[in-house]
Amino acid sequence: MLHFTAYEWIDNYWIPELFQIRNWENVTYSAVRDNFLSDRETYGASQGITDRSEADADPARRLVVHEALLGGLMFVFNNDDPLLFNPIANSVLLAMQEIGRRGQLSNPADVRTHLALARRPIKIVSQILSEFARKDVRLVGGKTHDLGIALNGLVESTTGDAN
């Protein structure tokens, strides 16, 4: 599975879209498909729905995503094992959102803050699973990467991946 992000110019706004490209049958990762599927993820995620549709590319739905982001929505996606990753990562991210809601988040506009928000839950889950799961069944682990690309093309990484 691969997540690919791009910006689209809709009604004078750059709006991010995340595409999920996969050949897995389902989130158990136990069977591979004969072909690849690709879905847009941001509209469904912004509405809390799991069904994806070609209509998610409609400009009206893209503007819903834009408004959700302006309202402070943070999207969380992962490639690993969502049944193990999401409960732990979501608790960390909910705490960070609350710190932000209270106005107590240090450097909220700094790209390094956002890179840390992306990286830290992965590191926490990886550490927990390395302590409790057999090595031959771990799907979360290994080197953690972060990479931020601003609209102006500037690239930043705290894990050495900007080059």
Give the pLDDT confidence score for residue 139 in this predicted structure. 63
Give the pLDDT confidence score for residue 80 in this predicted structure. 64
Higher local confidence (pLDDT), 76 or 44 = 44
**pLDDT > 90? residue 75:** no
* CA distance from start to end of the chain: 23
Q: Confidence class of residue 28 from pLDDT cuts 50, 70 and 90?
A: confident
Give the pLDDT confidence score for residue 134 in this predicted structure. 84
Structure letter (DSSP) for residue 56: G
Q: What is the mean pLDDT of residues 105-121?
A: 87
Q: What is the mean pLDDT of residues 113-141?
A: 83
Please report, for residues 22, 58, 62, 66, the alpha-carbon distance to residue 9 in angstroms, rounded to integers and kept in the order given.
25, 12, 10, 11
Residue 2 has a CB neighbour count (10 Å cut-off) of 11
Q: What is the mean pLDDT of residues 79-108?
A: 85
**pLDDT > 90? residue 60:** yes
Q: What is the mean pLDDT of residues 122-151?
A: 81
Q: How are strands ordered across the β-sheet holding 2-10?
A: 2-10, 13-24, 32-40
**Average pLDDT, rounded, for the chain:** 86
